[in-house]
Amino acid sequence: QVQLVESGGGLVQAGGSLRLSCAASGSIFSINTMGWYRQAPGKQRELVATITSGGWTNYADSVKGRFTISRDNAKNTVHLQMNSLKPEDTAVYFCTASTSRRYWGQGTQVTVST
């Protein structure tokens, strides 16, 4: 079992920045990929970014050049630096960790105002 706890969400004006963090605990030795998904009201959950234990990253086209995912394997944490935020980035952001299955955090709200 893996437990994930997110932090860092909040309210920010368009053009601003936020940094999300996620701490993993439990069976952390078996984690391969970690990442972030988001779900806006009335929409399906979508991929934001992922990072493997070796540091390979993948981003949704909508956030490329604005968001940066990073990972500290020693501290079992993953971060999402979000710059140049847009109102359409407003969503609940979920941290994920994959072993033989995918684990989800409870989510943190990000609201970008105009």
pLDDT digits 0-9 by tens, 17-33: 999 999 999 988 889 99
pLDDT at position 13, please? 98
Is the confidence at residue 8, as pLDDT, over 90?
yes
CA 29 to CA 21: how far, in whole Å? 19
- How many residues are given for the chain? 114
Q: What is the DSSP letter of 97?
A: E
**Across-strand partners of 71?**
78
Average pLDDT on 61-70 reads 98
Q: What is the DSSP letter of 101?
A: S
pLDDT at position 28, please? 84
Torsion of CA 86, 18, 23, 34, to 10 degrees: 40
- Quick count: other Cβ atoms within 10 Å of Cβ 63? 22
pLDDT at position 2, please? 94
pLDDT at position 35, please? 97
| Greatest extent of the chain over all pairs of C-alpha atoms, in Å | 42
% of residues, the chain, pLDDT over 70: 100
Q: Enter the tokens of residue 12.
A: 């920010």
